């Protein structure tokens, strides 16, 4: 692997510099060195990508869906053959351990393609019979779609959009986070190697305001699928809504992990540690607020702290992000909290922070209601289910959460009252790709997953045919 890696834009089946010729650095979080340089693209590159996408889309959209599903499988095959090397790039770019990159990120990227390929082959045609007519629902491609993705699960979240977008016959202009461009770049080469026709997958690198914003603004990109922070999502929505674009927004979260008084701590402790700290707490679904019944607090806390200290994590993504997380740790002390463990810089020049547990904060403090998106969990107690629900639902976010109890029926009842798009009972991040994925309130608009993704990346057209001509 050359060092630093030279990342290029993929436009129309060729790999190019930004038209401006400008490049920028990409710093690795493990030791703070420059691991790659990338094109600093702008609106001119977006225009070139849209022209390439428009040239490629009609032929692709006209193929039977089963042919497109076969291509998804070929892409999965090539990714599988290159899985270890892809994991190496993801680990280099994000700082996560190679095993996590390989078995959480890259395995899931491959599954994204296999899953949507299978769905494309097996989903029945939708028809609605009337006494005197038959309705046929066609699923037409949207056309050219814009995909914008974040740095925490770089290729995992990008392929979660690419696979259904291609399956439904669209051409893509994608922008990965400028902090983590490596796997998106390599993936554009692998898709080409798999035989994906040129121009269907255009990948542009660079900064959000300089290349993401022109994608959202482009009049001939008619759907935007965005995953990222709530503040950026607000800008994307404000830009796209007056143009009547299809819009999918997967945004931030401040997810509660609720431990009811009948929960079994042997199951709870490892589950809650994983929910809080997997990927250094940098997953939108992470349970960053632990709400525990007061009767269990004394038994839970020392076991939780011990397990957190034993849980190995990688660095956070960047120096800026580490500063942001440290800012919240300082705020926690100002707000009256106690840091029971963690929150200190690790050794070396990378962006390491030890996993932190904070107790003693009011559930409506800023640290307990704002998204920190790092290795920090706050712990709160409650006496009644009503109180637990009020705390759970007391933030502007509504992405996900989990409930832990020895009575699964009780867990389901509690879960149904949570104002979130997803809830796990006695587990966390247990994913079936067929189910709806997304948030309510400020955590997003729309759903991804299975049929929901296919619905977003297509236009449903109804044709009603009368029985008598
Ligand atoms: P950001 O919102 O900062 O960035 C997301 C993407 O948007 C990046 O590619 C970014 O580019 C780009 N971008 C920035 N400004 C604009 C703009 N004006 N127009 C178009 N695109 C733009 O999020 P992060 O990358 O920091 O990711 C972390 C956030 O993502 C967290 O809030 C997390 O909760 C959320 N997230 C949500 C998930 C969900 O499914 N709900 C899943 C994973 C993460 P650049 O990097 O160059 O700024």
> What are the residue ranges spanned by the domains of the chain?
5-251+443-462, 256-432
Classified as helix, coil or strand, 188 is helix
Question: Is there an atom of ligand 1 within 6 Å of 228 CB?
Answer: yes
Residue 123: C-alpha distances to residues 70, 118, 166, 325, 458 (Å): 15, 8, 16, 44, 14
Is residue 194 a contact partner of residue 221, using CB atoms and an 8 Å limit? Answer: no
C-beta neighbour count of 448 within 10 angstroms: 21
What's the CATH number of domain 5-251+443-462, 3.40.605.10, 3.40.640.10, 3.40.630.30, 3.40.50.700?
3.40.605.10
Question: Is there an atom of ligand 1 within 6 Å of 346 CB?
Answer: no
Atom of ligand 1 nearest to the CA of 207: 47
Rounded distance from Cα 150 to ligand 1 centre (Å) = 4
- Predicted pLDDT at 2: 80
Q: Where are the beta strands (DSSP E) in 5-85?
A: 5-6, 9-11, 14-16, 23-27, 34-39
Residues 325, 327, 333, 336, CA torsion sign: negative
Rounded distance from Cα 174 to ligand 1 centre (Å) = 13
Is residue 418 a contact partner of residue 401, using CB atoms and an 8 Å limit? Answer: yes
What's 211's DSSP letter? I
- CATH code, 256-432: 3.40.309.10
C-beta neighbour count of 121 within 10 angstroms: 15
> Closest Cα to atom 10, ligand 1: which residue?
208
Q: Give catalytic residues, as residue numbers.
A: 250, 284
Give 3-state DSSP helix, strand, coil % of the chain, rounded to 5. 45, 25, 35
Rounded distance from Cα 246 to ligand 1 centre (Å) = 18
Rounded distance from Cα 248 to ligand 1 centre (Å) = 13
> Closest Cα to atom 35, ligand 1: which residue?
228
Task: Report the C-alpha dihedral over residues 73, 76, 82, 86, rounded to 10 degrees.
Answer: 160
What end-to-end distance do the CA atoms of the chain give, in Å?
66
The whole-angstrom separation of Cα 340 and Cα 443 is 29
The encoded tokens of residue 202 equal 């255009």
Alpha helices in 103-175 (DSSP H): 107-122, 154-167
Q: Which pTM does this prediction carry?
A: 0.97
- pLDDT (tens digit, 9 = 90+) per residue, 332-375? 999 999 999 999 997 778 999 999 999 999 999 999 999 999 99
Q: Which residues of the chain have pLDDT under 50?
A: none
- Predicted pLDDT at 348: 79
- Predicted pLDDT at 298: 98
Residue 4: cis peptide before it, omega within 30 degrees of 0: yes
- Predicted pLDDT at 349: 84
Question: Is there an atom of ligand 1 within 6 Å of 196 CB?
Answer: no
Atom of ligand 1 nearest to the CA of 231: 2
- Predicted pLDDT at 347: 76
- Predicted pLDDT at 1: 79
Instruction: Provide the pairing of β-strand 356-359 with 338-341.
Output: antiparallel
Identify which of 321, 285, 349, 316 has the alpha carbon closest to the alpha carbon of residue 95.
316
- Predicted pLDDT at 279: 96
Q: Could you give the strand order of the β-sheet that contains 133-141, starting from the edge strand earlier in sequence?
A: 127-129, 133-141, 458-466
- pLDDT (tens digit, 9 = 90+) per residue, 270-284? 999 999 999 999 999
Atom of ligand 1 nearest to the CA of 253: 34
Q: Which of 43, 154, 208 to mutate to test the pocket of ligand 1 (most atoms within 8 A of CB)?
A: 208
């Amino acid at each position: 692997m050359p060092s630093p890696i030279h990342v290029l834009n993929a436009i129309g089946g060729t790999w190019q510099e930004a038209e401006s010729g400008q490049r920028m650095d990409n710093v690795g979080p493990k030791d703070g060195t420059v691991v790659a340089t990338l094109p600093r693209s702008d609106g001119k590159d977006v225009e070139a990508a849209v022209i390439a996408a428009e040239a490629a889309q009609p032929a692709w959209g006209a193929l039977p869906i089963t042919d497109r599903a076969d291509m998804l499988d070929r892409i999965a095959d090539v990714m599988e053959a290159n899985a270890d090397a892809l994991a190496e790039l993801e680990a280099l770019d994000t700082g996560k351990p190679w095993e996590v990159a390989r078995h959480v990120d890259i395995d899931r990227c491959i599954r994204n393609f296999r899953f949507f390929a299978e769905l494309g082959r097996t989903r029945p045609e939708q028809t609605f019979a009337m006494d005197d007519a038959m309705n046929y629902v066609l699923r037409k491609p949207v056309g050219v779609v814009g995909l914008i993705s974040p740095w925490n699960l770089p290729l995992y979240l990008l392929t979660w959009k690419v696979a259904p977008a291609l399956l439904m016959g669209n051409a893509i202009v994608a922008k990965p986070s400028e902090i983590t461009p490596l796997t998106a770049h390599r993936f554009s080469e692998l898709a080409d190697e798999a035989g994906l026709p040129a121009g269907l997958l255009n990948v542009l690198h660079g900064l959000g305001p300089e290349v993401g914003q022109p994608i959202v603004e482009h009049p001939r990109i008619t759907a935007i699928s965005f995953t990222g922070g709530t503040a950026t999502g607000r800008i994307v929505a404000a830009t796209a809504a007056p143009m009547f674009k299809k819009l999918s927004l997967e945004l931030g979260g401040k997810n509660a992990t609720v431990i009811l008084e009948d929960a079994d701590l042997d199951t709870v402790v490892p589950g809650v540690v994983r929910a809080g700290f997997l990927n250094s707490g940098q997953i939108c679904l992470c349970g960053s607020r632990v709400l525990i019944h007061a009767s269990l607090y004394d038994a839970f806390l020392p076991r939780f702290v011990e397990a957190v200290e034993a849980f190995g994590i990688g660095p956070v993504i960047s120096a800026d992000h580490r500063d942001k997380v440290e800012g919240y740790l300082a705020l926690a002390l100002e707000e009256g909290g106690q840091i029971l463990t963690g929150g200190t810089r690790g050794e070396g020049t990378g962006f390491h922070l030890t996993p932190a547990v904070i107790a003693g904060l009011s559930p409506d403090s800023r640290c307990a209601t704002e998204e920190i998106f790092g290795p920090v969990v706050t712990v709160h107690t409650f006496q009644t289910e009503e109180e637990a629900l009020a705390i759970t639902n007391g933030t502007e976010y509504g992405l996900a959460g989990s409930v832990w109890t020895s009575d699964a029926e009780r867990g389901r009842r509690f879960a149904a009252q949570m104002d979130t798009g997803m809830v796990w009972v006695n587990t966390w991040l247990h994913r079936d790709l067929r189910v709806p994925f997304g948030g309510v309130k400020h955590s997003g608009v729309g759903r991804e997953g299975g049929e929901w993704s296919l619905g977003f990346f297509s236009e449903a057209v109804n044709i009603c045919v009368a029985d008598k001509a």
